[in-house]
Amino acid sequence: MNVHSVEKAERIWFVNARVPGQLAEGFEVRAQPARDGLVTVAFGITPDGQLTGQAQGGRCVDLGGRIVLPTFVDSHVHLDKSYIVRRTGIPDGGLPDAVRLSIADAVNWTEDDLRRRMTKALERAFHHGASAMRTHIDMWSMPAQSAAWRVISELREQWRGRIELQIVALMGLDRVNEANEYAERCRQIKASDGILGVFIAPGTATDDKLDAVFRFAAAMELDVDFHVDETIDPSAQSLELICDSIIRTRFDRKVVAGHCCSLGTMPHVDRDRIIEKIVQTGVHVISLPMSNLFLQDRACGTTPSRRGLTAVHELRAAGASVHFGSDNVQDPFYPYGDYDMLTVFRIAVSAAHLDVDIGDWLARQFRSAATACGFVGHGRLSVGSPANLIIFDAMDFFDLMSMSPSERLVLRNGRPIRPASINLRNLLALELP
């Protein structure tokens, strides 16, 4: 199969593909599920780029047990900060230092600068296999006056069909104290099909402020996305106040809580009480291992002794929605990264010891991220849906967690979008540059 035949949408029938059983819908399972949750299936790609479970002629490709996953959902990123680390440098300390460096660089955030950096980020995410992303945009001014808001709104339209973008207007909790201004901000966020974002600094949450946030959000029918308890101080328990406010105000739209690091350091009696409320209210928790491991317990010349991770195992055991996101890429909050969700998951596996039940965690990653953000049709492989998938040159999770990031072939609507590794080129007889 050469690149020209792909453009002509050749019928292809893949056999001996290994996919997470929890993410495959409508395909005949050709072998019993393995202990890792992977099942062996065959699937086809129709000329119009849809997945099918029925062989319809065309060329047969034996994947030889290679792993196939849906395209990625990245539920928490900051496109407006991407790639500024070469200007800001690396923080000596933790989160406050990173915030200071980022704010100091904001004078450089012209529309041209933002468009260049955001476009690069979207290109990297797309080529690694992302099909849906939620980005936070710092909102110091009204959305209508924000260069970053204008640029990301334009890019959302330009990238439609390649990456589905959601935009969060991220503001400090104290903004809600200016009721008239906050109402107008919410109106503009709604007009732009955005999401209300709230950053809660430790010690700043009160019942009155949170109740007001949810009243404004309910009035404008906005989902709410929090940055909360981004500290390893066990006394930081604003997440519980969020849950209590949801119950009081009877807020019934989606609520996402990112970071929640202190949940992993507080006494178990407090942790378990808060997790019970998370389950009760349906709050979706996003752990952000790269930035949190980089910033939490960080001090120049000192070895960190505590991990900046939320209580992911305990959340899962209680039935809560929990998954992982990229957060920051090449900025002072995390100076590395490449918008590759496989790398994010690998770091989570090592840092949070997910390896004992890695198959369930991987399936949860796709399902929970799509559900938390409301990305319909993403995070699964389903008969009749677009053939958006990633073929990895890996036979099991040991391979998948160890291989080079380049060892994959991304298909969108059944067509490859990036060069494949040598092994995959030979397997599929691809003639890609």
Query: What CATH number is given to the structural domain containing 204?
Result: 3.20.20.140
Q: Please indicate, yes or no, whether residues 305 and 392 belong to a single structural domain of this protein.
A: no
Q: Please indicate, yes or no, whether residues 363 and 232 belong to a single structural domain of this protein.
A: yes
Identify whether 385 is part of a domain.
yes
Identify whether 245 is part of a domain.
yes
Q: Please indicate, yes or no, whether residues 138 and 91 belong to a single structural domain of this protein.
A: yes
Identify whether 42 is part of a domain.
yes
Reply yes or no on whether the pLDDT at 1 is more than 60: no
Q: Please indicate, yes or no, whether residues 86 and 43 belong to a single structural domain of this protein.
A: no
pLDDT (mean) for 39-57: 91
The CATH number linked to 19 is 2.30.40.10
Give the per-residue pLDDT at 431: 43
User: Is 157 an active-site residue?
Assistant: no
Residues 6+ apart with CB under 8 A from 302: none
Q: How many whole angstroms separate alpha carbon 358 and alpha carbon 19?
A: 13
Q: Between 179-191 and 207-219, two packed helices, what is the crossing angle to 10 degrees?
A: 40
Identify whether 214 is part of a domain.
yes
Q: Please indicate, yes or no, whether residues 201 and 304 belong to a single structural domain of this protein.
A: yes
Q: Please indicate, yes or no, whether residues 173 and 290 belong to a single structural domain of this protein.
A: yes
Evaluate whether 73 touches 366 at the Cβ level (below 8 Å).
yes
Closest by CA to 186, choosing from 147, 158, 220, 152, is 220
Half-sphere exposure of 19 (CA within 13 A, CB side): 30
Please write the tens of the pLDDT for every residue from 386-410: 999 999 999 999 999 997 766 899 9
Please provide the size of the chain in residues: 433
Give the per-residue pLDDT at 56: 79
Q: How many structural domains does the chain have?
A: 2
Q: Of all residues in the chain, what percent carry a pLDDT higher than 90?
A: 85
pLDDT tier for residue 420 given thresholds of 50, 70 and 90: low
Domain region containing 318: 72-373
SS3 per-residue string spanning the chain:
CCHHHHHCCCCEEEEEEEEEHHHEECCCECCCCCCCCEEEEEEEECCCCEEECCCCCCEEEECCCCEEEECEEEEEECHHHCCCHHHHCCCCCCHHHHHHHHHHHHHHCCHHHHHHHHHHHHHHHHHHCEEEEEEEEECCCCHHHCHHHHHHHHHHHHCCCCCEEEEEEEEEHHHHHCHHHHHHHHHHHHHCCCEEEEECCCCCCCHHHHHHHHHHHHHCCCCEEEEECCCCCCCCCHHHHHHHHHHHHCCCCCEEEEECHHHHCCCHHHHHHHHHHHHHHCCEEEECHHHHHHHCCCCCCCCCCCCCCCCHHHHHHHCCEEEECCECCCECCECCCCCCHHHHHHHHHHHHCCHHHHHHHHHHHHHHHHHHHCCCCCCCEECCCECCEEEECCCCHHHHCCCCCCCEEEEECCEECCCCCHHHHHHHCCCCC
Give the per-residue pLDDT at 429: 65
Q: Please indicate, yes or no, whether residues 394 and 328 belong to a single structural domain of this protein.
A: no
* Rg of the Cα atoms in the chain: 22
pLDDT (mean) for 55-82: 94
Q: Please indicate, yes or no, whether residues 62 and 191 belong to a single structural domain of this protein.
A: no
Q: Please indicate, yes or no, whether residues 143 and 262 belong to a single structural domain of this protein.
A: yes
Active-site option among 154, 181, 230, 276:
230
Identify whether 433 is part of a domain.
no
Q: Please indicate, yes or no, whether residues 124 and 51 belong to a single structural domain of this protein.
A: no
Q: Please indicate, yes or no, whether residues 387 and 316 belong to a single structural domain of this protein.
A: no
How far the first Cα of the chain sits from its last, in Å, is: 14
Give the per-residue pLDDT at 433: 36
pLDDT tier for residue 232 given thresholds of 50, 70 and 90: very high
Q: Please indicate, yes or no, whether residues 66 and 76 belong to a single structural domain of this protein.
A: no
